[in-house]
Amino acid sequence: MKTKSVKLKVIAIALLSATLPFTAKAQDKVEASVGADLVSGYIWRGTDCGGVSIQPSMSVGYKGLSLTAWGSVGIDKDDAREIDLTLDYSIGGFSVAITDYWFSYHKEDGGYTGDYFKYGAHSTAHIFEATLGYDFGPLALSWNTYFAGDDYMKENGDRAYSTYVGISAPFKLAGLDWSAEVGITPWEGAYADKFNVTNLTLKAEKEIKFSDSFSLPTFAQLTFNPHTQGAYFAFGVSF
């Protein structure tokens, strides 16, 4: 809800389209992917964001620069519809990204809220986030801060600059790929009303092989939010 702006992405797409055919070397190539997840529950950064959901994604990347579109549509009409656009650059273990999150909710009288191209400071359904990250190998650290859009979360109505700091560690155990994550928020904002631990997640992934040419990646994810006292267990399949 994963960082994320629109102008930046349009410019990036234009530059990639205009320059890549002429500047790529023989050993360089544009990489692209498309896929979708089916999840039993949409749990993000220790927050319950919806029930059973379909989450499509597509991305294009070149020499460390990538542009990704990700979305979520819940089976329940009361779940939010979400579209995230992320422009990311990675080199070595370092990464920097800008994400545009957009949310739309079902209205009781029909239709949905949240006009996509509405960007007024207090009337937009977008949230823009900046991310800095570094992967040390055994540990990965990311700092994520909302810097524009619908982030007026403080009690006095001021912008909160809501921030999530994640520390994750991948490991292998009993033939499965695992990862553990601890997430905190350093101040009042969208995640808590003060410094708090908001996410404790343990995730296990396994690829189920049906034949030599067909397999399905799956995962199970157990999440606790000490701040809200929430506990969630979700399962997902990737296509």
- Of the ranges 70-79, 138-147, 197-206, which one carries the lowest mean pLDDT score? 70-79
Residue 216 contacts residue 236 (beta carbons within 8 Å):
no
Please name the residues in contact with 99: beta carbons below 8 A apart, sequence gap of 6 or more: 2, 3, 4, 84, 85, 86, 87, 128, 129, 131
Mean pLDDT of the chain: 89
| More confident site: 124 or 22 | 124
Residue 110 is predicted with a pLDDT of 78
Rounded Cα distance between 202 and 181, Å, is: 7
Opening angle at CA 238, ends 232 and 239, nearest 5 = 155
pLDDT of 195 strictly over 60: yes
Rounded Cα distance between 166 and 164, Å, is: 6
- Mean pLDDT, residues 7-30 taken together: 45
Task: Give the predicted TM-score (pTM) of the model.
Answer: 0.84
